[in-house]
């Protein structure tokens, strides 16, 4: 299992919801084993938990206050960080290829590199699936990265500024395509922000001038969850004046309009595409590793890729069929978290040469945040059925999910101090970023 230097190199690519938890736990577990070296590779320098990106997009979460810098984190937790984008793989020589580091002006800061591994774990997440629908790439924004969330925030503020200082009072139509968790959470948060901006002094910004809509192709929002949750969410969003289109499949996006297969033309000045996911294309170019139709690496229940047992994949970028019905594990932070915990045990067994544990998805329920005012969700319980939750309790449990992630990365005490510090900061600083 070791190389000629008597060191086993575990390389994890992707420091997101799953990858960063995994390297943190591995580094703690193998702290005293000098012959095990853990390296994290990410194409960014910092991490923000992805389920918070819609708050970055609306300006209710300041990215600078909530980022974890990988270099600092690796220093304090005992692993190595390598900045780079995975672009290829050589399984024979056991090396990954990292692309050059290029700045915004196109200047090459560092050349392309190779990084050797003994065990490779891939957790590079997912991006939005545009299903090759005409106009999506041209006219839509998405929340595929923190930068895109920040870009949406900048454009949104610019459009608000234009409206505030313009004579021409045409409404601004913001449309979210995709009635899943991302779309619903984003539209609810935007609604709250519009109200707040009005309160802070931009008088032209209100529910009549900024029109929010959400489009879903199936017959209800949050199709993957229980109908009771969809109904509660529908009622909440409708009461806020958000237009909900169901049974509308987007056929094309045009300048200022969305055309549906059912014949509607929906006015749209800003469109956010949040309808389904696919894994990054690079996974289809990894030296013959098997991928499914949406580019996810196909893995066994041990999370080993089907083609190479020294390569593991998990989180959104992996397709891990579950035993009974071959149903895939859903692309959720919850699954990435569970798989990261399992992979710590897996690595111990793998290095000891014993049988690897298998992954079984445990659905602990889903919580959907409807901005700070509300949350709705279901918690799976051990008694038959599930527990429906709404309001403050659901909001609190949603917040706890993030705190659980923070506690894995920072430890319990730091998380407690950070929470207190954030609470105090919010008392002296508005929670909305307007620049």
Ligand X SMILES: Cc1cc2nc3c(=O)[nH]c(=O)nc-3n(C[C@H](O)[C@H](O)[C@H](O)COP(=O)(O)OP(=O)(O)OC[C@H]3O[C@@H](n4cnc5c(N)ncnc54)[C@H](O)[C@@H]3O)c2cc1C
Interface ranges with ligand X (CB under 6 A): 13-19, 41-44, 47, 50-51, 53-54, 85-86, 123-125, 143, 181-182, 185, 280, 282, 315-317, 331-334, 336
Q: What is the DSSP letter of 345?
A: H
Give 110 or 424: the residue with its C-beta nearer to ligand X: 110
Residue 377: partners with Cβ closer than 8 Å, 6 or more residues away: 225, 229, 365, 366, 367, 368, 388, 389, 390, 394, 397, 398
Of 182 and 209, which CB lies nearer to ligand X in the complex structure? 182
* Comparison of 174 and 259: residue with beta carbon closer to ligand X: 174
At its nearest, how many Å lie between ligand X and the CB of residue 182?
4
Q: How far is the CB of 345 from ligand X (least distance, A)?
A: 18
Nearer to ligand X, 62 or 252 (CB): 62
Shortest separation between residue 6's beta carbon and ligand X, angstroms: 28
Nearer Cβ to ligand X (275/317): 317
Shortest Å distance, C-beta 161 to ligand X = 25
Instruction: Please state, in angstroms and rounded to a whole number, the distance separating the CA atoms of residues 254 and 260.
Output: 11
Distances from the Cα of 105 to the Cα of 82, 100, 137, 147, 420, angstroms: 22, 14, 22, 16, 40
The helix (H) or strand (E) run that includes residue 71 is: helix 70-77
For ligand X, give the closer residue by CB, 98 or 163: 98
From the CB of 424, what's the least distance to ligand X, in Å?
A: 26
- How many Cβ atoms from other residues are within 10 Å of residue 330's Cβ? 12
Min CB(313)–ligand X separation in Å: 9
State the Cα–Cα distance between residues 371 and 231, nearest whole angstrom: 17
Residue nearest to ligand X (CB): 16
Assigned token pair, 359: 């992954």
Contacts of residue 242, Cβ cutoff 8 Å, sequence gap at least 6: 187, 188, 191, 212, 213, 214
Q: How far is the CB of 80 from ligand X (least distance, A)?
A: 15
Closest to ligand X by CB, 148 vs 209, is 148
Q: How far is the CB of 336 from ligand X (least distance, A)?
A: 4
Q: Which is nearer to ligand X, 12 or 253 (CB)?
A: 12
Say if residues 191 and 371 touch (Cβ distance below 8 Å): yes
CB of 50 to ligand X, least distance (A): 3
- Determine the Cα–Cα distance for residues 85 and 66; give it in Å rounded to an integer: 23
Q: Identify which of residues 135 and 178 has a Cβ nearer to ligand X in the complex.
A: 178
User: Measuring CA to CA, how many Å separate 376 from each of 53, 187, 293?
Assistant: 19, 15, 32
Give exposure, 135-158, as e/b (b: 16+ Cβ within 10 Å).
bbeebbbbbbebebbbebbeebbe
Which among 202, 198, 247 has a CA at the least distance from the CA of 220? 247
Q: Is 124 helix (H, G, I), strand (E, B) or coil?
A: coil
């Amino acid at each position: 299992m070791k190389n000629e230097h008597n060191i086993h190199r575990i390389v994890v690519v992707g420091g997101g919801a799953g990858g960063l938890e995994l390297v943190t736990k591995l580094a703690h577990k193998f702290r005293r084993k000098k012959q095990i070296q853990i390296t994290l590779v990410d194409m960014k320098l910092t991490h923000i938990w992805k389920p918070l990106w819609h708050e970055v997009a609306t300006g209710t979460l300041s990215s600078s206050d909530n980022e974890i810098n990988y270099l600092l984190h690796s220093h304090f937790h005992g692993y190595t960080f390598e900045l780079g984008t995975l672009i290829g793989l050589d399984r024979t020589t056991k090396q990954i290829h990292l692309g050059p580091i290029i700045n915004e002006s196109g200047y090459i800061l560092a050349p392309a590199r190779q990084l050797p591994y003994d065990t490779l774990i891939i957790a590079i997440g997912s991006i939005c699936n545009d299903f090759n629908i005409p106009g999506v790439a041209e006219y839509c924004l998405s929340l595929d990265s923190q930068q895109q969330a920040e870009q949406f925030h900048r454009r949104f503020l610019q459009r608000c500024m234009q409206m505030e200082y313009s004579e021409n009072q045409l409404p601004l139509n913001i449309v979210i395509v995709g009635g899943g968790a991302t779309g619903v959470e984003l539209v609810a948060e935007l609604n709250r922000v519009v109200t707040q901006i009005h309160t802070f002094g931009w008088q032209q910004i209100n529910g009549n001038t900024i029109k929010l809509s959400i489009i879903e192709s199936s017959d209800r929002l949050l199709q993957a969850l229980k109908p009771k949750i969809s109904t509660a969410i529908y009622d909440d969003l409708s009461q806020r004046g958000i237009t909900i289109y169901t049974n509308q499949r987007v056929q094309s996006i045009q300048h200022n309009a969305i055309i549906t297969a059912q014949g509607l033309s929906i006015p749209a000045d800003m469109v956010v595409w949040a309808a389904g996911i696919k894994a990054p294309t690079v996974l289809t170019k990894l030296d013959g590793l098997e991928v499914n139709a949406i580019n996810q690496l196909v893995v066994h229940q041990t999370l080993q890729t089907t083609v190479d047992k020294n390569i593991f994949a998990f989180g959104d970028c992996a397709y891990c069929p579950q035993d009974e019905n071959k149903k895939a594990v859903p692309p959720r932070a919850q699954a990435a978290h569970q798989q990261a915990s399992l992979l710590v045990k897996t690595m111990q067994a793998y290095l000891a040469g014993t049988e690897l544990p298998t992954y079984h998805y445990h659905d602990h329920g889903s919580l959907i945040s409807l901005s700070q005012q509300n949350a709705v969700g279901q918690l799976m319980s051990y008694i038959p059925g599930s527990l429906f939750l709404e309001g403050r309790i659901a909001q609190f449990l949603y917040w706890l999910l993030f705190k659980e992630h923070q506690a894995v990365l920072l430890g319990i005490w730091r998380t407690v101090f950070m929470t207190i510090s954030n609470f105090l900061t919010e008392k002296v600083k508005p929670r909305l970023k307007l620049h």
